[in-house]
Amino acid sequence: MYHNPVLLKQSVDDLVTNPDGIYVDCTFGGGGHSREILSRLSDKGRLFSFDQDLDALKNTIDDPRFTLVNQNFRFLENSLLMYGISQVDGVLADLGVSSHQFDEADRGFSTRSNAPLDMRMNVMQNLDAKRVINEYGEEELADLFYHYGELREARKLAREIVHHRKTKSIETTEDLKKMFSYIPPHKVNKFYAQLFQAIRIEVNQELEVLKEMLVQAFNVLKPEGRLVVISYHSLEDRLVKRFLKNGMFEGEPERDIYGNYKKAFELIKSKAIIPDDKEIEENSRARSAKMRTGIKV
């Protein structure tokens, strides 16, 4: 399977309220969420799905109601305008890396396989993991390890990488992992997951892209339109939670004399929805998923 969609029924239940409406799936991947959305739409409904990964285009759906846009979802608003769409009824984003991207060893996303340092979701872009590891300065590396990987030893790791590459370029995931073979066995899986996450976020500018998508989703949603986001780590979820609360990523909204502020969304549930034990057992990659849904005010 190209990708096993997480929280499939719950996300589409929250998303589709008008069978005749126009919907957006920001992360097409294997098309699991898109197919479920289409199953809820009438002949009048329309679905626009986005994916920047060329591999995902092989999964396109033969349906007159469906359009697959080969673009990063940071171009959501302008891409929809090209099809004459200025408002939609709902937007879904299932963030993170697809099962296919993890399983394709040569993409360099997985900590389990030896592969070229790549990690690009869009293989046409110039910046890859090899350039990040071999060309970024020590301070830049330390910052991204700390902020994107939440690694407390970020400065030490950056210093070791810069020292090592003076004599030999770091070419593969195994080259990178060998540098940190001293990590205790009981910590190694979490450490590599955090390290690879930090590099991947930088390569794909994931947090900045997410912010741009959320703002544009708000812009294109009709009043009472729904935004459904499934995230997989705290950095993403923090941005989503804050944006759904007050339409901002930092700072505080202006309040009136009574202490109230203008909301961007009403939350369907105050707490995130998480997969149940059965789904996690069937799909281990669902274990860190959190879903939040907002209704545009």
Annotated binding-site members for S-adenosyl-L-methionine: 31-33, 51, 73, 94, 101
Q: Give the separation between CA 52 and CA 20, rounded to whole angstroms.
A: 27
| Cα–Cα distance list, 22 to 17, 37, 39, 192, 221 (Å) | 10, 10, 13, 40, 10
Sign of torsion, CA 167 170 174 179? positive
- Residues 6 or more apart in contact with residue 224 via CB below 8 angstroms: 295, 296
Which residues are documented as binding site? 31-33, 51, 73, 94, 101
Q: What is the largest CA-CA distance in the chain?
A: 63
Contacts of residue 48, Cβ cutoff 8 Å, sequence gap at least 6 = 22, 23, 24, 25, 67, 69, 79, 80, 83, 85, 88
Q: Dihedral (C-alpha) 137, 143, 145, 146: value to the nearest 10 degrees?
A: 160
Helix axes 138-149, 185-204, angle to 10 degrees: 110
**Strands laid side by side in the 66-69 sheet:** 66-69, 46-50, 22-25, 88-94, 221-231, 290-296, 265-267
